[in-house]
Structure 1
Amino acid sequence: MTTTRQARLIDNPDLLRERLRAAPQGPGVYVMRDLAGRVAYVGKAAVLQNRLRSYFNGVPGLPERTRRLVEGVFDFEVIACASPREALILENTLIKRHRPRFNVRLKDDKNYLYLKIPAPGTPDTHAPGTAREKLRAPRGEAGQRATLFPRPYYTRKVQRDGARYYGPYTSAQSLRTTVRSLRTIFPFRTCGDEVFRRGRVCLDYHIRRCSGPCEGRIDEAGYAHLLEQVETFMGGRSRVLADELRQQMEEAAAALDYELAARFRDRLRAIDRINERQDVLSGRRGDHDAVAIAVEAGRGMAAVLTVRGGRVIGSETHEVEGVSDLSPAECLGAFLPQFYSGTPQLPRTILVSDAPDGLDDIADFLAGERGGPVDVRMPRRGELRRLVERARETALATLRQRRVVEDFDAERTEALLADLAARLDLEAPPRRIECYDISNTMGTNSVGSMVVFEDGRPRPDHYRHFGIRTVEGADDFASMAETLRRRFIRHLRAVQGEADGDIPVDDPDGSNGEEAPPQSGGGSRRGGRGKAEESFAALPDLLLIDGGKGQLGAAHAVLVEAGLADVPVFGLAKRNEELFR
């Protein structure tokens, strides 16, 4: 059922009332569409009618994010489900299909890599190698023989074909490094079937990176056992593998086959070196994942620490979209079903940094994916709590590093500035942007703040603050006028080379209205007079004022007074996200 896209649902209260009354009173999924007909949000509920009413009753009192969603909805659809678990499965499927802008969602989750190890003797249904995989069947006797010695390879598709999959890996380089290390310990083949059918060993065999199955240097049982050892290692059971290799080494030595014993010894040493680099959780030998999400500045990053046999064997980070104005717990509730849906290696226990709503439903969903019980819990103390805190720190550090990298991405920054200039109807992309805000303490001690961006990146050494002197009480309009007046007076003096009579605003004492203490050489505490003059000598290409029409009018009057009326100035009212010019 759809309606015409000429009005929002909240603009037709009679229709909305009847739609809500007709909504199912059991579990299900609801899909909200925006004015363009796109899916804006997908949600689930144990009682659909109650959940939908909570959106549309009392819209002004809703949280800002929810209010923005509801105010843009022109239609919604409901899908009844048999149980909350079925609703969770359907919700997860629809989020992955439509990627609604108001849902928390994994960024590019379809591009993650897996290591696939086909089962020996079973024809692989897909040609390995690239994203352009095609259906294929083994050709001839040599092709049939190649299936007995399958090669592990990278893939982006997980299928129920009897093969083992390990991942997902967000970093292709990380997976390739792992495979290179594995081949020094377990020399499985990596050549294509066309090369294998030639029946001659290649360079990989001579440098001990392949066991030579193409020429019969290893039999089917030996190669199958080699792949089992690879699977044991990738599954994090390195202790079991080390014990097995130690036993094989001793048996070979007892049989006076010292060359074979030396090969087992070398493999054992390589595994021991890898184990030395893995953290050990004292007293715990279980298998579990530690999952945490960090949210900062409207962006999110999830970190998953993989613990197998009591050792931290891996760490992966995943960028999460649609997290603005949401808590980490809310983000985790959406991340867990998306991340673990279809994952081939799902542990018995998942430790989370925050407890999302509907934790029991999430655990039931994951149990269905695993084919056995899954315990999802938030540890509150001890070693496991430190583990999830480490995951949180990893997520936050990765998020901040990515933000720094993107800040210094010249192409991305130029595109964003060009888009900003187009949206604000500026003559050119703004190289220097200055932002101003006024704050006070209970109506006293007002301070004006100046924040600077150059080429799309923060310029902290140009940040300044002004202790308001001439305004009594909490008068944002007059305080904004004084702040800008002093800023542009200092600009004129810096350009003309005149002595600056204002208190140095980069000095924390003088800038708050007190007399600045004497400094040797006339400099201030933070960077000296030269830094202050450099900050004020440059004119902004764009001025942003925190506030509405009143603050904007005060700013414009100061610019006219200073002969700078051509400097673009806008007011940004955060409460309703309104822009004034």
Structure 2
Amino acid sequence: MSIKDPATHVPDFDLEAPRPEAQGLPSVAEQVGKVPTEPGCYLWKDAKGEVVYVGKAKNLRARMLQYVRLTDDRAKIPLMMQVVRSFDYIVVGSEHEALVLERNLIAQYHPYFNVDFKDDKSYPYIALTMGDTYPAIKYTRERHRKGTRYFGPYTDAQAARETIDTLRKVVPICSATCVEWKRCRRYLKGHPDDAAVANLAFADRGRPCFDYHVGRGPGVCVGAMTPSDYARNVRQVEQFLAGRRSAIVGELTQQMHDAAAALEFERAGRIKRRLEVIEGLDDEQQVTFSSAVDLDLIGFYREETISCACVFVVREGRTVRSSEFILNKGADVDEVELTEGFIKRYYDETADIPAEVDTHIDLPDAELLGEWLTDKRGRVCRIHRPKRGEKAHLLEMTARNARHALMRYMVRTGYADERTNQALLELESALALDGPPLRIECFDISTLHGSFTVASMVVFTNGRPDKGQYRRFKIRAELSEANDFVSMGEVLGRRYAPVRRDDERFAASTPDLLVVDGGKPQLTAAMGQLGALGLDIPVCGLAKADEEVFVPWDETPVVLPSGSASLYLIKQVRDESHRFAITFHRELRTKAQSVSILDEVPGVGTRRKRAIMRHFGSMRRLRAASAEDIASVRGVPTSVAREVYDTLRAWEGEGRDQREAT
């Protein structure tokens, strides 16, 4: 059920394999130009002929041309098309048929670039062996078999087992692990003509199982129940597992009243205890709706290359279970692809389909997916995005649960450590370093038109933030406007001055990699300053626009693969330095506003400033005040109040410009 290579990095695709045109064959683009314009599925293949991506299309040629022309704006497409050397396609009669075929092909090939479950395991189900005369219930991870109905999947194996145990207290039904049930099953397979009168046959030759002795088994093994009566129990079990408990409660209540009317008080007492079990389940419900709705709510939480989907299964207005699934794609694919990919995978493997599936975004294929689910369910099912009310609130809850589940998974599997090690090794290779950059220092400049210019230095040790090593600098150069070139040169000169290199506060060491926030100009400033200091420190610049990494030894920027661990790490370093610089800059600006802004107003001296601040109590209240409010302060003339008001507005305008610029 997992992808072919469950590792956290891109598999070792052969990017140097010759393309068709190099072998005198038509190029992939030329071949796509001959593809029909009918609906169908396409399969992109690598140099080894292995399928790396499966997709569907209403118009095969138009959709596939978006890939070869790189007009599809998804981040993974450029990398994927570097891998592609050939393709196949299958024409079908409609887009709906293409959707069904796409899911089957993904299940067959498990392509690397498609969204799939990450866990290399099968999920547990609760199953009913409907092909038997006396169907039994079982916990299983088996592939779906004909003649067996499956409920799930469950991500908590213990919860699935407890559900079976609780259910058998409510409705007596045989367990597929029961030795006597297996004996009865073998007999009926050898004597199919006895199926209609199986209870009579077992009454003569049967042996009671342990569950029958303790009142949890229906007594099939000793002929205590006819196939028709047993079928009624099986129907109740199906209703229970599908979340339709009201029907079971109604039937059991009627049976209890009938037994009491017939003076069968012991039987009535057993049924009452079963009803109490169901009532106990209802008492445990933490999330309920005011109406008896049947729906699934799906929320996601994404990291860079991994994510978690959380499904709340609501039946008759009550949440009957929640399940979390780890997926092999995250922020490296867009939300629509991730959501649609999960819906296709999840509902391909479950028979429990509700009347409504709620997601946090609008899906372009919502109508098509709804038609597919309607066919599987046999009744109408729609895909919906709630924007307010109970459903929207519950979707937020599913996203929070997905986040916690993903964090637990990462801690349990050591995913973060593995990915960090991978990132350091990838950076070593991509940036031609002598070794993994165990200490990374990153610098960023923050300014407001040359005022309050500051710089930040953040440090990552072994791929993790080392906040005890963070430093911040006030730029001393007199600047009439923003000048990152001069500012970067100054801060690097101060950081790597000989006296600082021996300072324990800076770990008395130079970094394995120096990162500057910005492109070629910032990198040039850094190289010039390091050269003046006689230092040979590996350095690179990271531009915000296209996430390009500039290096001194090549005019062409290094492009780290989208979704790679190395790109995620270096972006994290850059973003952390930016956050640290902005925080310091705003802190200085706010302090300056509260301390010195009134000093710049003509006519405001020490006494008037004290009177104004005593009257309003804080700069926040003063900034919100009108000119008339300020003029009401004792000892402040109207003309001075207007000057104060205008000065405050001017400062707010500059601050707004800075926020928009950043």
Answer yes or no: same fold by TM over 0.5.
yes
Partner of 1:252: 259
With over 3 angstroms needed to count, the CA separation of the structure-2 counterparts of 1:424 and 1:173, relative to structure 1, is farther
Q: Which amino acid aligns with 1:300?
A: S
**Aligned-pair distance for 1:14?**
8.2
**Aligned-pair distance for 1:183?**
3.8
- Output the aligned Cα RMSD: 4.1
Query: 1:175 pairs with 160, 174, 181, which one?
Result: 160
CA distance in 1, matches of 2:174, 2:50: 48
With over 3 angstroms needed to count, the CA separation of the structure-2 counterparts of 1:398 and 1:271, relative to structure 1, is same
**Aligned-pair distance for 1:102?**
3.2
Q: Normalized against structure 1, the TM-score is what? A: 0.73
Partner of 1:327: 334
Instruction: Give the helix-richer structure, 1 or 2.
Output: 2
Partner of 1:157: 143
Judge conservation of contact 1:281–1:383 (CA < 8 Å) in 2. no
Partner of 2:377: 370
For 1:430-509, what aligned pairs fall within 5 Å after superposition? 431-438=438-445, 447-460=454-467, 462-470=469-477, 472=479, 475-476=483-484, 478-488=486-496, 492=501, 494-495=503-504
Judge conservation of contact 2:144–2:150 (CA < 8 Å) in 1. yes
Partner of 1:77: 88
**Aligned: 1:107 with 2:118:** yes
Q: Which amino acid aligns with 2:360?
A: S
Query: 1:46 pairs with 58, 61, 69, which one?
Result: 58
Judge conservation of contact 1:294–1:302 (CA < 8 Å) in 2. yes
**Aligned-pair distance for 1:22?**
1.9
Structure 1 or 2, whichever has the larger Rg, is: 2
With over 3 angstroms needed to count, the CA separation of the structure-2 counterparts of 1:246 and 1:441, relative to structure 1, is farther
CA distance in 2, matches of 1:213, 1:448: 79
Structure 1 counterpart SS, 2:153: strand
Judge conservation of contact 1:471–1:478 (CA < 8 Å) in 2. no
Structure 2 counterpart SS, 1:102: coil
The sequence identity of aligned pairs, in percent, is 35
Partner of 1:232: 239
For 1:126-525, what aligned pairs fall within 5 Å after superposition? 148=134, 150-161=136-147, 163-190=148-175, 192=177, 194=179, 196=181, 197=183, 210-211=217-218, 213-214=220-221, 220=227, 223-279=230-286, 281-403=288-410, 405=412, 431-438=438-445, 447-460=454-467, 462-470=469-477, 472=479, 475-476=483-484, 478-488=486-496, 492=501, 494-495=503-504
CA distance in 1, matches of 2:108, 2:513: 40
CA distance in 2, matches of 1:298, 1:339: 20
Q: Which amino acid aligns with 1:160?
A: K
**Aligned-pair distance for 1:169?**
1.4
Judge conservation of contact 1:10–1:56 (CA < 8 Å) in 2. no
- Which has the higher mean CA deviation after the structures are superposed, 308-317 or 36-45? 36-45
Q: Which amino acid aligns with 2:136?
A: P
**Aligned: 1:7 with 2:19:** yes
CA distance in 2, matches of 1:307, 1:95: 28
- Which has the higher mean CA deviation after the structures are superposed, 320-329 or 456-465? 456-465
Judge conservation of contact 1:299–1:321 (CA < 8 Å) in 2. yes
- Which has the higher mean CA deviation after the structures are superposed, 109-118 or 416-425? 416-425
CA distance in 2, matches of 1:36, 1:189: 50
With over 3 angstroms needed to count, the CA separation of the structure-2 counterparts of 1:298 and 1:10, relative to structure 1, is farther
CA distance in 2, matches of 1:203, 1:538: 73
Q: Which amino acid aligns with 2:97?
A: E
Partner of 2:43: 31
With over 3 angstroms needed to count, the CA separation of the structure-2 counterparts of 1:152 and 1:552, relative to structure 1, is same
CA distance in 2, matches of 1:108, 1:203: 37
Structure 1 counterpart SS, 2:152: strand
Structure 1 counterpart SS, 2:248: helix
For 1:48-63, what aligned pairs fall within 5 Å after superposition? 48-57=60-69, 59=70, 62=73
Judge conservation of contact 2:311–2:398 (CA < 8 Å) in 1. yes
CA distance in 1, matches of 2:397, 2:362: 17
With over 3 angstroms needed to count, the CA separation of the structure-2 counterparts of 1:75 and 1:492, relative to structure 1, is same
1:208-233, Cα deviation, whole Å (9 max, x unpaired): 55455445566655554443333221
With over 3 angstroms needed to count, the CA separation of the structure-2 counterparts of 1:333 and 1:415, relative to structure 1, is closer
CA distance in 1, matches of 2:363, 2:88: 25
Judge conservation of contact 1:407–1:413 (CA < 8 Å) in 2. no
**Aligned-pair distance for 1:256?**
3.2
Q: Which amino acid aligns with 1:30?
A: Y
Structure 2 counterpart SS, 1:111: coil
Judge conservation of contact 1:41–1:100 (CA < 8 Å) in 2. yes
Judge conservation of contact 2:410–2:416 (CA < 8 Å) in 1. no
Gaps of 5+ in 2: 1-15, 185-205, 554-662
Judge conservation of contact 1:292–1:304 (CA < 8 Å) in 2. yes
CA distance in 1, matches of 2:39, 2:415: 47
With over 3 angstroms needed to count, the CA separation of the structure-2 counterparts of 1:410 and 1:442, relative to structure 1, is same
Partner of 2:561: none
With over 3 angstroms needed to count, the CA separation of the structure-2 counterparts of 1:60 and 1:235, relative to structure 1, is closer
Partner of 1:95: 106
Judge conservation of contact 1:351–1:376 (CA < 8 Å) in 2. yes
Q: Which amino acid aligns with 1:155?
A: R
- Which has the higher mean CA deviation after the structures are superposed, 261-270 or 569-578? 569-578
**Aligned: 1:86 with 2:97:** yes
**Aligned-pair distance for 1:166?**
0.4
Judge conservation of contact 1:447–1:465 (CA < 8 Å) in 2. yes
Structure 2 counterpart SS, 1:169: coil
CA distance in 2, matches of 1:287, 1:447: 56
- Which has the higher mean CA deviation after the structures are superposed, 303-312 or 275-284? 275-284
Judge conservation of contact 1:35–1:72 (CA < 8 Å) in 2. yes
Q: Which amino acid aligns with 1:100?
A: P
1:67-108, Cα deviation, whole Å (9 max, x unpaired): 333454333333322211122222222233333333333334
Q: Which amino acid aligns with 1:166?
A: F
**Aligned: 1:66 with 2:73:** no
Partner of 1:21: 33
**Aligned-pair distance for 1:157?**
1.6
**Aligned-pair distance for 1:167?**
0.5
With over 3 angstroms needed to count, the CA separation of the structure-2 counterparts of 1:202 and 1:89, relative to structure 1, is closer
For 1:521-536, what aligned pairs fall within 5 Å after superposition? 533=505, 536=507
Partner of 1:514: none
With over 3 angstroms needed to count, the CA separation of the structure-2 counterparts of 1:218 and 1:26, relative to structure 1, is closer
Judge conservation of contact 1:367–1:373 (CA < 8 Å) in 2. yes
**Aligned-pair distance for 1:274?**
0.9
Partner of 2:597: none
With over 3 angstroms needed to count, the CA separation of the structure-2 counterparts of 1:562 and 1:347, relative to structure 1, is same
With over 3 angstroms needed to count, the CA separation of the structure-2 counterparts of 1:213 and 1:409, relative to structure 1, is farther
Judge conservation of contact 1:447–1:466 (CA < 8 Å) in 2. yes
- Which has the higher mean CA deviation after the structures are superposed, 232-241 or 321-330? 321-330
CA distance in 2, matches of 1:302, 1:238: 26
**Aligned-pair distance for 1:445?**
5.4
Q: Which amino acid aligns with 1:46?
A: K
Judge conservation of contact 1:337–1:366 (CA < 8 Å) in 2. no
With over 3 angstroms needed to count, the CA separation of the structure-2 counterparts of 1:440 and 1:28, relative to structure 1, is farther
**Aligned-pair distance for 1:273?**
1.3
**Aligned-pair distance for 1:272?**
0.8
Gaps of 5+ in 1: 124-146, 496-532
Judge conservation of contact 1:106–1:339 (CA < 8 Å) in 2. no
